[in-house]
Structure 1
Amino acid sequence: MKNEAISERQATILIILFLLGNSLLIGSGTQAKQDAWIAVIIAIPFSIILVLMFSKILSLYPGKDLFDILPLVMGKYIGNLLSILMIWFFFHDAALIFKIIAEFTNTLVFADTPVVVPMIFFAMLIIWSLKAGIKVLGRWAEFFSWVIISIVLIVPLLSISQMDINRLKPILNNGVTPLLKGVFSSFTYPFGQIVVFTTIFSNISKVKNYKKSFIVGILIGGGLITLTVLRNILVLSNDTISREYFPSSMAVGIIRLGLLQRLELTVIIVFLVCAFIKVSIATFAVCNGISKVLGFDDYKFIATPIVFLMLNFSFFVTKSTMESHFWISNIWQYYSFPFEVIIPFVVFIVAEIRSKRPKVL
């Protein structure tokens, strides 16, 4: 990704929109039930610790990304093996988001249209973003960010008349265990997913303070997710949320303020824009990783086959909306933990040890 540069502001915005992704649509920390909003808040400081580790790894090897660093730190063979594992993780993550997009559009947007039609259109947009480069994606995200954030902030205000504070009670009714499960779930999805940014920040020359971009992105993105989760609980109650695959759409759909109705469109806009950012970033990482492992000079020429392979794989990654929801809520946190935490932690420890060794003249 040579000669591609975004500002610190654009880097922060990309992180915010990436975090929002499908979290605004399906929620976060659902295992904690009516305490899900507390789970998200608790997950934020743990996520900050995680990104401090990411920032340190990048700072030890200026101008290099995770795929450059792995062979340097772990050796050529182990490093390339770990790179392949990370490529698979990002590929699988992007395919799962593709699947959720397909299910969402087929259920609520284009119910009478073959699901492959909007998905091909979406895939073409992803290919365009890869060909255009991270610089253009950063500008695009910056342009749309104020619209997205404004919608996320204003819609809860319009829902106040449907809110009931009693739906938050009783707090910790089921003990601490469900809350801890919710914290772990939120920590890995979506916060842990920003490990993907360690693979694309290497040649972004205008970003000098990765730590600031990561932390501000998590604080703002985490705050917006907390607000959305809290709104859904106050409007729908945990019992209703547990039966819905897309609770945000339902929560916004019941808003009735005179002529101001059918606000589900706002959910559709926010989700599709943020999902586009999320899939684009993950696919950037996949293409970048493949090009580094195979020794290609540029990642862009493999963008089209990778995206269409990902699109095809998305139809097999889960069989139904129910299975997708179950995977994200119950399996993802255990599946993703090695990729989001263990591998980066091992790299961090080894890199720290290597950095403290006296250099041989």
Structure 2
Amino acid sequence: MEERITNYQLVVMIILFEIGSTPLFALGSSAKQDSWLAMLAAAAAGFFLLLMFVSIQRRAPEQDIVRLLRICFGKVAGSVLGVSFAIYFAYESMRNVRDFGEISNLTLLNTTPKYITMFIILLLASYAIMMGVDTLFRVTETLLPIVAISYGLLIFLISIAHLIHFDNLLPTLEDGFKPVLRAAFPDMVSFPFGQTIIFFMVWHMLPEQKKVKKLSLTAYTIVSLFLILMNIINITVLGTTLAANSTLPFLQTVQLIEVGDIFERLDVLVTLLLFLGLFVKMTTFFWGAVYALAHIFPSLRKATWLVIVGSLIFITSFLEPNYSVHVWLGLKFSVKLYPLFQVIIPLLMFIVIRFRKIPAPKATSDI
């Protein structure tokens, strides 16, 4: 029997997934004080991308991305593309595993080898996946209040500590729209907004298919506004130069908090928030890769694919020699390839599926 999720679980997952590791980086820093405008432009583009994704899903509400690809491009080509998407999901998960290891090594666990923390987090993710979709989504339900209250507290303390200087946002559009658009496209669209492509693996599990569009777009709008706010906070507190050159800008922002002699040294809280975000995004991509491969190659059990994909993620996470190369590869190179999966193939699907007769859904086994 197909597993199902609730409306609230979908909203929570979209919010926590999109937050993910995004506060780790000074996105759009090439636009300087207009980086928040670049994020706004990217979020708007991502909104229309998500609208296209949902439109595709509504044509075949009971299908995941593997079946949708087969409907659009045929069984063979669709399966090949399905494997490609599974590899893409696994690669995204690998990047988050490496982020987790590096951040823990830089902050809380300086003397612990990063391969140990990376192995432990993969084990936890594997356990959540083995327990099924319901367990994974219940975890996010538990985490949302913690994340919301913690970020709210940090933003409040930053405000009352008089760290925000809105002069750092001026002059607006000093060099026109070109730097803003160059920063937004394709990099910031690809990360984080285009990553909603993973929800093709989720939407068919919602019992009330008519609410997919409303719930997804509402959750996306909420988290987009939050990410724009976080970008503004980093710029107004650190300034453009420091924010652009900081490894972890929001962490550096929070380290400046001093309210009386009570609220200070809250960087541990930020690190824990980043860990939660990384775990949700990493596990979701990991689960998406396993789920897709289990559909394409049903002769192998889910547990087998879990071991295969998990092992590949762990091994490949060490291919990059250091964290600087890892960040450069992710923010300067990989984001240029993501539009193939986030824009080009979905656009072809959108065109084809509008004219393709959709077969009636078949009963599927629980994956």
Q: Do they superpose with TM above 0.5?
A: yes
What is the correspondence of 1:3-152 to structure 2 with a 5 Å cutoff?
3-152=2-151
Query: How do 1:331-346 and structure 2 match up within 5 A?
Result: 331-346=333-348
Runs ≥4 residues deviating over 3 A:
none
Whole-angstrom CA distance in 1 between matches of 2:232 and 2:44: 18
Deviation of 1:28 after TM superposition, in Å, equals 2.6
Q: Once the 2 structures are TM-superposed, how far is the Cα of residue 298 of structure 1 from its aligned partner?
A: 5.2
Cα deviation digits, residues 204-262 of structure 1 (max 9, x gap): 43554221222112111111111111111111111001211111111111111121111
SS at match of 1:237: helix
Q: CA deviation at 1:123?
A: 0.8
Aligned letter for 2:12?
Answer: I
Alignment of 1:293-304 (within 5 A): 293-296=296-299, 299-304=302-307
TM-score for the superposition, normalised by structure 1: 0.93
2:253 aligns with 251
For 2:202 and 2:6, the matched residues in 1 are separated by 13
In structure 1, what is the Cα distance between the partners aligned to 2:209 and 2:135?
A: 15
Counterpart contact for 1:167–1:238, Cα < 8 Å: yes
- Give unpaired runs (5+ residues) of structure 2: 359-367
Change beyond 3 A, Cα 1:191–1:134: same
Task: Please show how residues 211-360 of structure 1 align to structure 2 within 5 Å.
Answer: 211-258=213-260, 259-296=262-299, 299-316=302-319, 318-355=320-357
Change beyond 3 A, Cα 1:250–1:243: same
CA distances 1:6-47 after superposition (whole Å, capped 9, x unpaired): 111110110111110110121432332221111112222221
Letter paired with 1:138: F
CA contact (8 A) 1:245 1:325 kept: no
CA distance in 2, matches of 1:212, 1:186: 24
How far apart, in 2, do the equivalents of 1:205 and 1:132 lie?
A: 20
SS in 1 for 2:85: helix
Query: What is the alpha-carbon distance in structure 1 between the residues aligned to residue 329 and residue 170 of structure 2?
Result: 28
Paired with 1:222 and 1:3, the residues of 2 have a C-alpha distance of 31
Offset of 1:355 from its aligned partner?
4.0
Partner of 1:182: 183
Structure 1 contact 189–332 (Cα < 8 Å) conserved: no
8 Å Cα contact 1:39/1:183 also seen in 2: yes
Unaligned runs of 5+ in 1: 357-361
2:209 corresponds to 1:210: no
Provide the secondary structure at the position in 2 that maps to 1:3.
coil
Aligned AA for 1:141? T
Write the distance in 2 (CA, Å) between the matches of 1:143 and 1:320. 34
Supply the distance in 2 between the matched residues of 1:325 and 1:13 (Cα, whole angstroms).
27
Output the CA distance in 2 between the equivalents of 1:336 and 1:296: 30
> 1: CA distance between counterparts of 2:175 and 2:248?
24
Residues 172 and 114 of structure 1, relative CA distance in 2, 3 Å threshold: same
Mapped contact 2:54–2:213 kept (Cα < 8 A): yes
Whether the aligned pair in 1 keeps the contact of 2:5 and 2:205 (CA below 8 Å) is no
After superposition, give the CA deviation of every residue in 1:69-128 in whole Å (9 maximum; x if it has no partner).
111220112111111211111111111111111111111121111111111111111101
**Alignment-mate amino acid for residue 48 of structure 1:** F
Q: Distance in 1 between matches of 2:303 and 2:10?
A: 21
Measure the CA separation in 1 of the matches of 2:128 and 2:337.
Answer: 28
The match for 2:170 is 169
Query: Is the Cα contact below 8 Å between 1:11 and 1:207 reproduced in 2?
Result: no
Query: TM-score, normalising length from structure 2?
Result: 0.92
Aligned amino acid, residue 179 of structure 2: P
Match of residue 359 from structure 1:
none
Contact 1:31-1:329 at 8 Å conserved across structures: no
Q: Distance in 2 between matches of 1:299 and 1:207?
A: 26
Distance (whole Å) between structure 2 residues aligned to residue 165 and residue 106 of structure 1:
33
- For the Cα contact (< 8 Å) 1:126–1:307, is it kept in 2? no
How large is the Cα RMSD of the aligned pairs?
1.8
Q: CA deviation at 1:325?
A: 2.2
Task: Tell me how far apart the structure 2 counterparts of residues 351 and 83 of structure 1 sit (CA, whole Å).
Answer: 16
